[in-house]
Structure 1
Amino acid sequence: MLENIKYIIEKYGDHPAFFRYKSSTGKLLPLFYIYDSYLQSPDIWAQLLKSTGKRSIRNTPYDGIFIGLLVEEKHKAEVLAAGFDGIYTYFATNSFSYGSSQRNWRSIKAFCDSNNLIFIPSVGPGYIDTSIRPWNGQNTRNRINGKYYETSLKAALETRPEIISVTSFNEWHEGTQIEPAIPKTRGQTAYLDYLPYKPSLYLDITRRWAEKFREEQEKWLQ
């Protein structure tokens, strides 16, 4: 991980499109989402992510904001012990996991607030992955012509988060894409489209809620 971070920052760190986020100390630092972070023990992560760690990345040119994945409730304490800067929930299926269950977001946010962690709820337009996981129909979530997405965005916004992540832009195989779509069939696979609405339906919804998010954030800071 340390070598990967060094490579990313050294190769792309000066590019104008390289994203940086203002940390609690006021520094602009790269933000990294760490998928399946719970597969490594907190003690191992702490060697890299805590200032007292043996190979600490903190206060070096390679420092960043590191966001761990929360799946189970116990991961809250593990993320904290590991030295991560925040939590994200990733999965687009409401109730698939503890972290992706919108009913838990307020309590997760409260935990993050009390421990100086960033809470990043993840929202999605729907979910259907049965073309690649035929056994997983119980986790399908119908888009309901954008209502599922808007319900997820509303639940996320109500927690007053610093960031909301979208799962995903273009993962067609899991039915979570928000990019423009028109009817398309390839072999036996018929890709989801947004008819009778226009191809940009989900980008339009994203734009509208992004503007609302910005307006709400301004109110929270007053």
Structure 2
Amino acid sequence: MEIPSLWSVLKVAFDARPYKGHDDHSVHENIKYILDKYGSHAASSKYQTSIGKSVMLFCIYDSYLTPAESWANLLTPSGCHSLCNSYDTMSIALLVEEGHKHNILSAGYTTTYTYFASKGFSFGSTHQNWKAVKTFCDSNNLMFIPTAGPGYINSSIRPWSSHNTRVNGKYYDTALQAATVRPETVSITSSKKWHEGTPIEKAVHKTPMCLYLDCLPHQPSMYLELTHRWAEGFSKEKQWLM
């Protein structure tokens, strides 16, 4: 299978991580800086809304740690330092526990994602919950972004972590199958960190020193091929966050 170059389709969305002093005021300044500096860049990931507006994407990791009323200052039109009237953005909240979906709504978010690619690790990352979450989101004009991943090989640092181990693409297939709940967007959690074992990029064996994850010697692009195959299964309007 011929896989198109990622550089021909790759766009960058920003992932806002917690830091000391992290709150709605500081995130407002962070987003404003990024938009002013990179908002018009060709590589900036944009989402086309139903009314034809192109908005820049921001994933807000651990968003639930900040009270909903504080986010409302930033994300609602009447907020004291609202982004709504001056910047075209889409902030994406992290759904971990079931109750978070109500806080996400009151905070003014229009989108939520699950981030964690460990099946069963949280309410949000449990595949069998996605249909109900999607129904809730549809009923409340909220976009739901389920997150898939290839699994982990990280027992060297987390000896107890064996439930979500990669199995020659089967774990990834299962997650992507579960994500077909009519989403507008699908996200993939993958990292180049060797100790976590979540990459999907082309991999080769370096024997006798080591075997690279669960990629077979004759299939160095297995996970990219799986990604490509599933992406083709979604309509052309769907977007992927990685």
Answer yes or no: same fold by TM over 0.5.
yes
User: In structure 1, which of residues 27, 49, 52 is the aligned counterpart of residue 78 of structure 2?
Assistant: 52
In 1, the alpha carbon distance for the partners of 2:194 and 2:147 equals 17
Range that drifts further, 168-177 or 99-108: 168-177
User: 1:43/1:170 Cα in 2 relative to 1: closer, same or farther (>3 Å)?
Assistant: same
Letter in 2 for 1:47: N
Shift in Å, 1:123: 0.1
Q: Indicate the SS of the match to 2:228.
A: helix
Q: Indicate the SS of the match to 2:232.
A: helix
Q: Report whether the alignment pairs 1:105 with 2:126.
A: no
Letter in 2 for 1:168: S
Q: 1:36 is matched with which residue? A: 62
Letter in 2 for 1:149: Y
Shift in Å, 1:14: 1.7
Q: Report whether the alignment pairs 1:75 with 2:100.
A: yes
Letter in 2 for 1:205: L
- Verify the 8 A CA contact 2:168 2:214 in the aligned structure 1: no
Q: State TM-score, norm by structure 1.
A: 0.88
Q: Indicate the SS of the match to 2:223.
A: helix
User: In structure 1, which of residues 123, 146, 154 is the aligned counterpart of residue 169 of structure 2?
Assistant: 146
Q: Report whether the alignment pairs 1:206 with 2:227.
A: yes
RMSD: 2.1
- Verify the 8 A CA contact 1:146 1:202 in the aligned structure 2: yes
User: In structure 1, which of residues 191, 194, 204 is the aligned counterpart of residue 215 of structure 2?
Assistant: 194
Shift in Å, 1:173: 2.7
In 2, the alpha carbon distance for the partners of 1:25 and 1:39 equals 31
Range that drifts further, 6-15 or 99-108: 6-15
User: 1:77/1:214 Cα in 2 relative to 1: closer, same or farther (>3 Å)?
Assistant: same
User: 1:199/1:95 Cα in 2 relative to 1: closer, same or farther (>3 Å)?
Assistant: same
- Verify the 8 A CA contact 2:148 2:176 in the aligned structure 1: yes
- Verify the 8 A CA contact 1:179 1:200 in the aligned structure 2: yes
Structure 1 stretches of 5 or more lacking a match? 218-222
- Verify the 8 A CA contact 1:92 1:176 in the aligned structure 2: no
Q: State TM-score, norm by structure 2.
A: 0.81
In 1, the alpha carbon distance for the partners of 2:36 and 2:141 equals 29
Structure 2 stretches of 5 or more lacking a match? 1-26
Identity of aligned residues (%): 55
In 2, the alpha carbon distance for the partners of 1:153 and 1:160 equals 12
Residues matched between the structures, number: 211
Letter in 2 for 1:147: K
For residues 102-151 of structure 1, the C-alpha deviation after alignment (integer angstroms, 9 at most, x for no partner) is: 000000000100011110000001123333334x425x412221111111
- Verify the 8 A CA contact 1:182 1:193 in the aligned structure 2: no
Q: Indicate the SS of the match to 2:158.
A: coil
Q: 2:148 is matched with which residue? A: 123
